[in-house]
Structure 1
Amino acid sequence: MNHIFKLLIAIVLLLSITPMHVFAASPSSMTITKSEEQTAYDNIVKSLLNAETNTTFNASKISYKDIGKIVNQALANNPSISYYNGLTASSNGTINFKYKADRKVILEKNKKVNLEVDRIIKENIRKGMSDLEKVKSIHDYLVLSVAYDYDNFLKNNVSNDSYEAYGALINEIAVCDGYTKSMALILNKVGVQTIQVTGIANGGNHSWNMVKIDGQYYHVDTTWDDPVPNKPGSVHYNYFLKNTKQLKVDHQWEETAYPVATSSKFNYFHNMNNMVEKDGMYYYSDSKDNLLYKMDKKKLKKTKVLGDKAPYFAIQGQWIYYSNYSNGGYLYKVKLNGKEKKQINSIHSEVMFIKENILYFQNTKTKKNLKLVL
């Protein structure tokens, strides 16, 4: 009687402030050179992308014990794979996959995600953009469009969708895996090499991305740049394009499995609390003093706009609307050149953004959302 040995590989959903369940893969093994392993890898990728329940491998050449490693590589290399929930590999050369949804549902959701990715690219990526501009554009889009699934996390009730790109791009609510997969899906499609990284942060499982710009790798944790609870219109850059040494302060991962990021070229982003890009300039509230500055994108020359503390602001035309923390957090406006400053209200106002010529902001005391037609 032939004995079939089975290896059960399951994903354990460890919910934390930044839950994840994506497997990591060594970039050095992104291209599998052994022909039999390559065939098995190709079969696995094809099956997982199509949410198929089984595939095969050459058991005379590959041990069933090595299938888990190949699947991990497939998952890390293909952010389009979704709702995967484990496998059983047998010594007779068969692999049975498990999913967290029916195949028909998965394929329908994947179709919606692909259409949404195309829409996002069309609306946010322009011809001639540098890789830096592409990365920043998609980083900003995800932070502004997606809310961290915080309420469900607190209730220990995070849905399967929130771990997928579907949660981030369609439901607009996700945990770190949703942000990470979406970032990889979009950036890879516009020609920016992007790696999914898994590790630990805040004592819990976490995922984020590495991107390659001008030959150098950088870490981008889009999830941690999105304020929690969600603050519409707010984008942070504390974890945007960090090197390995900087990220190691509060993130841990198997460093030997990923490229080493050494460049500090984009450190200037890390001091930007809320930033608006306009006419070749970065307008931002400095994280050190909360004063409003502007920086020429090409020359990287920093200039103070005005001496008021302005942690929250938005720009419309030639006007900056801001919460003046040097005077009760009241709503003010000032020209882009720092002139013609004027007080608008006597309400502590914050969390502001502009949409269709309307300034939306929040009364800090009452938590009521208010708006001002510009």
Structure 2
Amino acid sequence: MKKWLIGGVAILMLSPTAALAQNTDTHPENTSPVIAYNVVANSKVTTWDQFTAEIVKQLNNFTPEIKITYSGSMTNFKDKFMDAYDKAQKQAVYASGHLESTAISADSSGNVTFKVKYFTNQSQEVAVQKKIDQVLKTIIKPSMTEFEKVKAINDYIVSNSDYGTKTKASPHSAYALLMEGQAVCQGYTLTAYKMLEQVGIESKYVVGFVNGNEDHAWNLVKVDGKWYHLDTTWNDPLPNRVGVSSYDYFLVTDAQLKKDHTWITSDYPAATSTTYSYMQNVHYAYQDKNTLYFSNTADNDKLYKLDLASGKKTKIIDKRALYITGADNFLYFSDFSNSGYLTKLNLKTLKMEVLVKQSVSDLRISDNHLVYNMNKKEQKLKIN
């Protein structure tokens, strides 16, 4: 009986094993302990479509050892089962994004075994699904438009994550991002993919390069029938700033993204719609109902508001406002037209009040307190 052994199979384009963003970490990653699973009994199939479907099912289950017995035509057998594995990876997008390596063995009787290493494991994926269910229940409402759903997912990921590799689980995994609050671009993109898929937004996992030759991953998303790029990693400021999101890589076109990203365009649908170009230059955003208050990087970080229904931007005051947050009818921000002093703005009267005459950062509201950093120490100020 002839037997083939194919070791170290490449993970193809859907699962870059070192897709880092913005900077490259050369240290070996921390991987979770190996856990023994019950090996799935041999699955018997007679067609290559059935063969592919079985691999998809097992990959989506994060099965470490996939055994299939094929009893159809043996013509070009080796090429056929390799092709089936390639097709399966393209269908099991989320699981394939977590693939670390695959070793394939087969014999001339049609028995094929795939020994798969993932960046995560079955128990971690149970935790991921539970966490995503909890998050989506909180941030997604039935009345939301597709745009609002994508924005809510982008904002959650960016606001609750830090780009990095200092995790116990693999930083390439959605588990690391959701459970440890830190990951590299692969973790950001896979988390976004799974969340988007669960709320009914069609998405694709894109791989390419940034800064010339650094591996990178991001999403393509379909909103109201049109494709857009979404790079949650690059919407998260580096170094990390708690609760801060930008939108320069939010629902953008191919032309916009090509300024600093490259990818094989023929492998993905074209993104040409400029419907959401008004989200550009929006930094340090704070949302109240359907209005975004933000620092406009196109106007020297001056304080603006954006009507999300119309896309209209309006300057509020001629002040450089960063780290914006708010409560009731007031905004709080660091006034960098005045040394970064902590400043309060009444949105009805536009009257400003300096609360702290020192430079502050990382403003947020928590339990009726304004929380901020000053001289690298967290401070609290009661606001009600």
What's the TM-score once normalised by structure 2's chain length? 0.84
The secondary structure found in structure 2 opposite 1:314 is: strand
Return the alpha-carbon distance in structure 2 between the equivalents of residues 5 and 39 of structure 1. Answer: 22
* CA contact 2:293–2:304 (8 Å) conserved in 1: yes
Cα distance in 2 between the residues matched to 1:358 and 1:147: 24
2:334 is the alignment partner of 1:352: no
Report deviation, 1:316: 0.9
Between the aligned partners of 2:80 and 2:381, the Cα distance in structure 1 is 61
CA distance in 1, matches of 2:86, 2:360: 47
Q: Deviations over 1:164-190 (max 9, x none)?
A: 111111121111111111111111111
In the aligned structure 2, how far is the partner of 1:86 from the partner of 1:261? 31
Alpha-carbon distance in 2 for matches of 1:14, 1:321: 40
The 8 Å contact of residues 79 and 185 in structure 1, kept in 2 or not, is answered as: no
CA distance in 1 between counterparts of 2:90 and 2:203 reads 10
1:198 corresponds to which of 207, 214, 227: 207
In structure 2, what is the Cα distance between the partners aligned to 1:42 and 1:62?
Answer: 19
State whether structure 2 residue 301 is matched by structure 1 residue 290. yes
Q: AA paired with 2:142?
A: K
Secondary structure (helix, strand or coil) at the match of 2:371 reads strand
Give the drift of 1:64. Answer: 2.9
Aligned residue runs from structure 1 range 89-238, under 5 A = 89-92=104-107, 93=110, 94-100=112-118, 106-149=121-164, 152=166, 160-202=169-211, 203-238=213-248
Partner of 1:29: none
Distance 2:101 2:76 in 1: 19
Deviations 1:263-312 (A, max 9, x none): 11111111101212213212111012211111222222222111111022
2:92 counterpart (71, 78, 81): 78
Q: Does the 8 A contact of 2:9 with 2:103 survive in 1?
A: yes
Matched, 1:317 2:328: yes
The separation in 2 between residues aligned to 1:299 and 1:14, in whole angstroms, is: 40
1:60 partnered with 2:74: yes
The residue type paired with residue 6 of structure 1 is I
Is the contact made by 2:206 and 2:220 (CA closer than 8 Å) also made in structure 1? yes
Greater CA drift, 334-343 or 119-128: 334-343
**Cα distance in 2, alignment partners of residues 186 and 75 from structure 1:** 19
Determine helix, strand or coil for the equivalent of 2:176: helix
2:208 and 2:169 map into 1 onto residues whose CA distance is 20
- How many residue pairs match? The answer is 350
**Aligned-partner SS, 1:352:** strand
Give how far 1:191 is off: 0.6
Relative to structure 2, which stretch is displaced further, 53-62 or 332-341? 53-62
Give the SS at the match of 2:269: coil
Distance 1:67 1:276 in 2: 51
Q: CA RMSD in A?
A: 2.5
Q: CA deviation at 1:84?
A: 2.8
User: Residue 322 of structure 2: SS of its match in structure 1?
Assistant: coil
Q: Assess if the C-alpha contact under 8 Å between 1:48 and 1:84 holds in 2.
A: no
Greater shift after overlay, 307-316 or 72-81?
72-81
- Structure 1: stretches of 5+ with no match in the other structure: 21-34, 153-157
1:99 to 1:335, Cα distance in 2 relative to 1, 3 A: same
Amino acid in structure 1 at the alignment position of 2:175 = Y
Q: Do the aligned partners of residues 205 and 348 (structure 1) sit closer, same or farther apart at CA in structure 2, a change above 3 Å counting?
A: same
Aligned residue identity for 1:139: N
Note the alpha carbon deviations across 1:80-105, whole angstroms, 9 max, x for none. 4275322233453413222157xxx8
CA deviations 1:219-273 (Å, max 9, x no partner) are 0000111112211011111111111111111111111110000011111111101
Letter matched to residue 204 of structure 2: I
* Residue 289 of structure 2 is aligned to residue 275 of structure 1: no
Using the TM superposition, give the Cα deviation of residue 107 of structure 1 relative to its aligned residue in structure 2, in angstroms. 1.6
Provide, for residues 66-122 of structure 1, a one-character-per-residue CA deviation record: whole Å limited to 9, x for no partner.
545544443444354275322233453413222157xxx822111111111111110
Secondary structure of the residue aligned to 2:215 is strand
The Cα of 1:356 is off from its aligned counterpart by 2.1
Aligned equivalents of 1:69 and 1:204: distance in 2? 28
Contact 2:20 2:185 in 1 (8 A): no
Give the secondary structure class of the aligned counterpart of 1:210: strand
Distance 1:68 1:338, change over 3 A: farther
1:258 equivalent to 2:276? Answer: no
SS of the aligned residue for 1:346 comes to strand
SS at the partner of 1:192?
A: coil
Query: Identity rate of aligned residues, in percent?
Result: 30
Q: Is the 8 A contact 2:155 2:245 kept in 1?
A: yes
On the 8 A contact 2:99/2:118 being kept in 1, the answer is yes
1:138 to partner: Cα distance = 0.3
Higher strand share: 2
Structure 1 equivalent of residue 50 of structure 2: 39
C-alpha separation between the residues in 2 aligned to 1:52 and 1:284?
A: 47
Correspondence for 2:339: 328
